[in-house]
Amino acid sequence: MKAYETHESSENYLESILMLSMDHQVVRSIDIANMLGFSKPSVSVAMKRLREEGMIVVDSNGYITLTDDGMKVAKGTYEKHIVITNMLVDLGVSPYTAGQDACRIEHVLSPETFARLKEFYLKSHNGVSPELDMINAFEQKRP
């Protein structure tokens, strides 16, 4: 497998856990199911796989937390989503369509390509991105 080949499903779940974690004190499988519109059994299977891969920890209450490895993947995916969405909106694409397209594009970009896109995006916004700052702030306050 090439370095930038991804597992889209895992990335989507991890990104969702990050997004929910930023908004809620705890994340449960049902929260993920509701957010993504998937069945609870489907999410449970995915959470088992992510737990076995060391991407998440599930405590005795069923609360899901990203491990450091899971956070790295989730943060990378969410950053791609934000940058791509905002760049497409800047080009005149509707926010809804930009978000939908970003969900697909974020999984196929090489790290090199994304690094250049992010650099270009930040330069064009004077180095300011409140959304990216929120992710970094959340990551910093994690135990």
pTM of the model: 0.89
Select 8-70's CATH number: 1.10.3720.10, 3.40.50.720, 1.10.10.10, 3.10.20.30.
1.10.10.10
pLDDT tens digits along 54-65: 999 999 999 999
Place of tokens 């974690």: 21
Q: Is 24 exposed, middle or buried (0-12, 13-18, 19+ CB in 10 A)?
A: exposed
Nearest to 18 by CA among 89, 96, 71, 84: 71
Q: What is the pLDDT of residue 121?
A: 96
pLDDT of residue 25: 83
CA 124 to chain centre: 23
Q: Is 111:89 a contact under the CB 8 Å cutoff? A: no
Pick the CATH number of 73-134 from 1.10.60, 3.55.50, 1.20.1630, 1.20.1510: 1.10.60
pLDDT at 5 over 80: no
